[in-house]
Structure 1
């Protein structure tokens, strides 16, 4: 008789399994073992168990190639199996999936792909958008993609539930207009954060208006201005009247910056409960002052200059200038939610995830490296399509671009996505923002990018010691091919490689994927309530057209432009839900399911975690000296994946 030692690891508390019996068959070069029942004196296969069994065979099986798993009863989550041969050889069989039926499941390198491709199929939600996982509803997803039951309880919160928790129920059905700012504060004070209080106190300040382009929830719009756009006829007398400064000189010095919302030009605004909403495509000019503040110096609310489209200036009346900034903040909300947030950090990560599961075998190092960073992504995106951007979703009901407009923005946004814009170092360089002071998104983001890059490089170079190995890896090449075809349908000149020719190309691309799914999502998601909870700072919709003349705006004009009370409440509830941390979050550097077994990648994970801890300490020390700390890219706040 020959004895093999079989170790079975189940998942953590996310994967509780209770059933009757489990069976295993070992397959090697010299043949198959008998079907053997796994038995133990301990309660079998509860969450987190690691159980060891002795398995007797009539003869040696030679080098092990595969195993067959079967079970009776309820679903069983298997994390991994290890089999030790009589000669001491250790064979690893990562599984990491639910077994829901009583069929035979063959586990070997690459054997899972045919099954995965049948489970994970492509579907295009709307023409001109990235493809997504084919699923009629969240319940139709493969069981492996479902939320852990505690998290599911969190995520089934409806807007009504959020409104109740925020103590806003009495306002939710009120369609009246605001009559004074104090009433808005009465609503806002039901739920506050330190940052949202800062926003409440400073939302009118020009310096804070400029600050949000750097460290608010949408740091993706600002870029250095070297030449004024022809459709933005700002003059020296407008912005530097009675001063020695000149626009051309300040642009040469790198002190002038532009935010151009041309993506919104001509977008059809929403109609909410029979009332037309308004959306503009502004241009904003900003100046870095000698004391390193970023100050707005000119705003044009529509793309085509003309007498009915004045350029607003800080020297205008208080209400003219504040009204112009309000239209900009609403434009920024719509571009942020649809382009910077939904498209770039939800829809594209879903493409990365589905392509991974369809093309990369579980035994492959890339599968082991990326799986923690696609956790829950499909589930949260199905919910987003069901509840946020559907015909009866929140965006359609309560935002100025909801309905036809939101898909116009998404389609236009996809055509503007390039590989360089997804890679933070390249994006910062292309936007000319390397030297702009007090840009904490850039500083913390580049530190995180470099740490992730170092981790990815050390891990992948262990498996690929020459470029030819990457070129010949059909699974990795097919993964990239599907990302190109399904993520960017009919798009050309994205700059995304058509194939990987070198190890360095693979390292950079995988770094981009991990950064997008973790850090970039955190940067544009976690602060939503902080900056949008106080509605006057970022209205989700506007109910009056943009001003066509100066000198007519009053406080009443602004209040009547703001969304009605019920729309305000729904906006607050939505961004509060989207900002809530997950109850079962896994943060960057933490990998509870140990997929790697070799010493080198395990040591890389250890070093990765140490570097993240050092960065977290550095950020905390920096934040101690700031009036408004920037915390969204502190590694201890960055989840591994897009799970909310």
Structure 2
């Protein structure tokens, strides 16, 4: 009688093991086996991190093994089980891998197919077609779209973290506690310190130091020592936490009536302001988005205020970007003067503080929340709804949306909800942050997520003209490494443009992003469908770069980019592509490390060894 060796790997997460009964059914091209209990007498099977092997003997030939069914039935008390993978050694010496990487909650079953990635056109057997269809039908019931606020990208239909499908929740209570503790720490830092500080009088700008916890980071120490200086103010637009606002000024806007006479003490080339503009030495940062946004009024005892400043910057002879004019609000007039470096020291410093305050609000709500967190959630939900686990694009993207939906759900539950942390400690709380996202959605385009195109659109692409824009330099290298990797994956599974255009699951995924993420707005430039291999590689690069590198640039890293601990792919060409990808990333790390040597202000946010794979915090 034919005998199979079945190896079962349980996850390493907390509470991943189970005491329940685990049954296996082999589903072959000729027939299905009987249901077999996987059990070793006097041995505790399926413990956390365990790899258990079993001999399964069948009565008749099963043919080619197409699927395996795993059933979990209660033994004593309810518990969950995390199954990493199952491998099967057939009577004929063949090894078959069945990736899973899923939780079994309570009693239930899952049907797995082998780890070879397949497009829908590759499945000609009815059983496999049926399995593919049922998986998506099940997922579409679990992953439902919801409008959290009008005008927002749609999000997951869940009121709290525990409402989420088990497979996308944080791995354990420890993971959830981390988020809760993080939120509590932020609340203690921001609410208690900030509110205490702003409800009392300040005697000196040195009082700013009171709102910072003790830090040992040399960069932070350097910034604290030099934050009042113009060169540091300008440098932060290039390499700070929000390096996406600055752009080259091609014409002084009418709403900012700056003249040569006003700024001539800042111009070092003996040129007029207009001539400096023509030579590409003038830059602008405009916070028009904040104009008219309601300031936080949730606490009647504490008045909060918002500005919508415009800041003009200049590349001096040392190639440093420094501010030369600041207007606090959008409409010029006697009550809205233009502040200059030649003004009284504290007048100029206060003007810069207003710009930094506005930059904080745009960074938190738009650059960080909308353009990385919410967009990555859209990609993730669309992926789960429209791509089965066997699809190569699912296998590619699943690591890059890990925990994103969970962290965003926690944010909607605790941070950006009514009476959440934003309402307590942020001047755009109480609804202003919602207005900001609604307004920013009108200008969120697909092109703006293509990193090289975003640099060109802002006139910031030239390294020769702007030599110290490390966010751009490192970002372009990481973008190209990701693009080369995704192109390799596309080349492996799509032999022609026609195969791309005729992949119904891929097209449904892309259309879901357009319809639900961008709310079907044609002006967004998001594609409704993808017709070529080149455009598919670009699209996948946008998804991965947004979730990994762009988020890292405006946040901080956890798991490093290019590391895929869950082995969804089993094919050698893909594993070879991953090796090449990691080698490219290692080269970028080495270059950044060398550049940062002896720098007082090293830039490492886009060093691949510090880039998270996904938006997970």
Normalised to the residue count of structure 1, the TM-score between the two structures is: 0.87
Q: Could you tell me whether the CA contact under 8 Å between 1:68 and 1:106 is conserved in 2?
A: yes
Tell me the residue number matched to 2:121: none
Q: C-alpha separation between the residues in 2 aligned to 1:290 and 1:382?
A: 48
- Where 1:271 maps in the other structure, the secondary structure is coil
Q: C-alpha separation between the residues in 2 aligned to 1:342 and 1:171?
A: 22
- Give the CA deviation at 1:153: 2.3
- Give the CA deviation at 1:267: 0.9
Tell me the residue number matched to 1:106: 111
Alpha carbons of structure 1 residues 358 and 3: separation in structure 2 relative to 1, 3 Å: same
Q: Could you tell me whether the CA contact under 8 Å between 1:373 and 1:518 is conserved in 2?
A: yes
1:31 lines up with 2:24 in the alignment: no
- Where 1:112 maps in the other structure, the secondary structure is helix
Within 5 Å, give how 1:464-543 maps onto structure 2.
464-526=494-556
- Give the CA deviation at 1:83: 2.5
1:640 to 600, 613, 616: 613
- Give the CA deviation at 1:420: 1.2
Tell me the residue number matched to 2:178: 154
Aligned length: 586
Alpha carbons of structure 1 residues 315 and 171: separation in structure 2 relative to 1, 3 Å: closer
Tell me the residue number matched to 1:540: none
- Give the CA deviation at 1:48: 3.1
1:443 lines up with 2:469 in the alignment: no
Tell me the residue number matched to 2:334: 307
Q: Could you tell me whether the CA contact under 8 Å between 1:256 and 1:287 is conserved in 2?
A: yes
Tell me the residue number matched to 2:117: none
Q: C-alpha separation between the residues in 2 aligned to 1:48 and 1:205?
A: 54
Deviations 1:260-292 (A, max 9, x none): 111111111112521321111111111111211
- Give the CA deviation at 1:179: 2.5
1:119 to 137, 142, 151: 142
Tell me the residue number matched to 1:135: 158
Q: C-alpha separation between the residues in 2 aligned to 1:170 and 1:499?
A: 49
Q: C-alpha separation between the residues in 1 aligned to 2:339 and 2:276?
A: 20
Q: C-alpha separation between the residues in 2 aligned to 1:491 and 1:217?
A: 29
1:255 to 274, 281, 293: 281
- Give the CA deviation at 1:188: 2.5
Q: C-alpha separation between the residues in 1 aligned to 2:394 and 2:337?
A: 55
Q: Could you tell me whether the CA contact under 8 Å between 1:94 and 1:363 is conserved in 2?
A: no
1:404 to 410, 431, 456: 431
1:603 lines up with 2:576 in the alignment: yes
- Where 1:233 maps in the other structure, the secondary structure is coil
- Where 1:157 maps in the other structure, the secondary structure is helix
Q: Mean Cα displacement is larger for which, 491-500 or 364-373? A: 491-500
Alpha carbons of structure 1 residues 187 and 122: separation in structure 2 relative to 1, 3 Å: closer
- Where 1:32 maps in the other structure, the secondary structure is coil
2:422 to 371, 395, 400: 395
Q: C-alpha separation between the residues in 1 aligned to 2:375 and 2:356?
A: 25
- Give the CA deviation at 1:603: 1.2
- Give the CA deviation at 1:49: 2.9
1:355 lines up with 2:385 in the alignment: no
- Give the CA deviation at 1:172: 6.5
Q: C-alpha separation between the residues in 2 aligned to 1:272 and 1:92?
A: 56
Deviations 1:103-136 (A, max 9, x none): 3333345242122111111111000000111111
- Give the CA deviation at 1:491: 2.2
Q: Could you tell me whether the CA contact under 8 Å between 1:168 and 1:190 is conserved in 2?
A: no
Q: Could you tell me whether the CA contact under 8 Å between 1:345 and 1:516 is conserved in 2?
A: yes
- Where 1:307 maps in the other structure, the secondary structure is coil
- Where 2:108 maps in the other structure, the secondary structure is coil
Alpha carbons of structure 1 residues 249 and 14: separation in structure 2 relative to 1, 3 Å: farther
Q: Could you tell me whether the CA contact under 8 Å between 2:187 and 2:421 is conserved in 1?
A: no
Q: Could you tell me whether the CA contact under 8 Å between 1:255 and 1:287 is conserved in 2?
A: yes
1:267 lines up with 2:293 in the alignment: yes
2:261 to 230, 237, 248: 237
Tell me the residue number matched to 1:11: 11
Alpha carbons of structure 1 residues 159 and 598: separation in structure 2 relative to 1, 3 Å: closer
Q: Could you tell me whether the CA contact under 8 Å between 1:11 and 1:49 is conserved in 2?
A: yes
Q: Could you tell me whether the CA contact under 8 Å between 2:514 and 2:520 is conserved in 1?
A: no
Q: Could you tell me whether the CA contact under 8 Å between 2:73 and 2:108 is conserved in 1?
A: no
Q: C-alpha separation between the residues in 2 aligned to 1:194 and 1:486?
A: 43
- Where 2:523 maps in the other structure, the secondary structure is coil
Tell me the residue number matched to 2:66: 65
- Where 1:230 maps in the other structure, the secondary structure is coil
Tell me the residue number matched to 2:346: 319
Q: Could you tell me whether the CA contact under 8 Å between 2:193 and 2:211 is conserved in 1?
A: no
Q: C-alpha separation between the residues in 1 aligned to 2:581 and 2:510?
A: 25
Within 5 Å, give how 1:284-295 maps onto structure 2.
284-295=311-322
- Give the CA deviation at 1:151: 2.5
Tell me the residue number matched to 1:630: 603
Deviations 1:221-265 (A, max 9, x none): 111111111211111111125962112221222111111111111
Q: Mean Cα displacement is larger for which, 476-485 or 32-41? A: 32-41
Q: C-alpha separation between the residues in 2 aligned to 1:342 and 1:602?
A: 33
Alignment RMSD: 2.0
Q: Mean Cα displacement is larger for which, 283-292 or 33-42? A: 33-42
Q: Could you tell me whether the CA contact under 8 Å between 1:4 and 1:55 is conserved in 2?
A: yes
Q: Could you tell me whether the CA contact under 8 Å between 1:301 and 1:328 is conserved in 2?
A: yes
5+ residue gaps, structure 1, are 527-580
Q: Could you tell me whether the CA contact under 8 Å between 1:167 and 1:190 is conserved in 2?
A: no
Q: C-alpha separation between the residues in 1 aligned to 2:193 and 2:62?
A: 71
Deviations 1:501-530 (A, max 9, x none): 00111111111101110110011113xxxx
Tell me the residue number matched to 2:226: 202
- Where 2:364 maps in the other structure, the secondary structure is helix
Q: Mean Cα displacement is larger for which, 82-91 or 230-239? A: 82-91
- Give the CA deviation at 1:159: 5.1
Within 5 Å, give how 1:362-373 maps onto structure 2.
362-373=389-400
2:81 to 57, 71, 76: 76
Q: Mean Cα displacement is larger for which, 29-38 or 155-164? A: 155-164
- Where 2:71 maps in the other structure, the secondary structure is strand
Deviations 1:413-437 (A, max 9, x none): 1111111110111100111101222
Q: Could you tell me whether the CA contact under 8 Å between 1:373 and 1:517 is conserved in 2?
A: yes
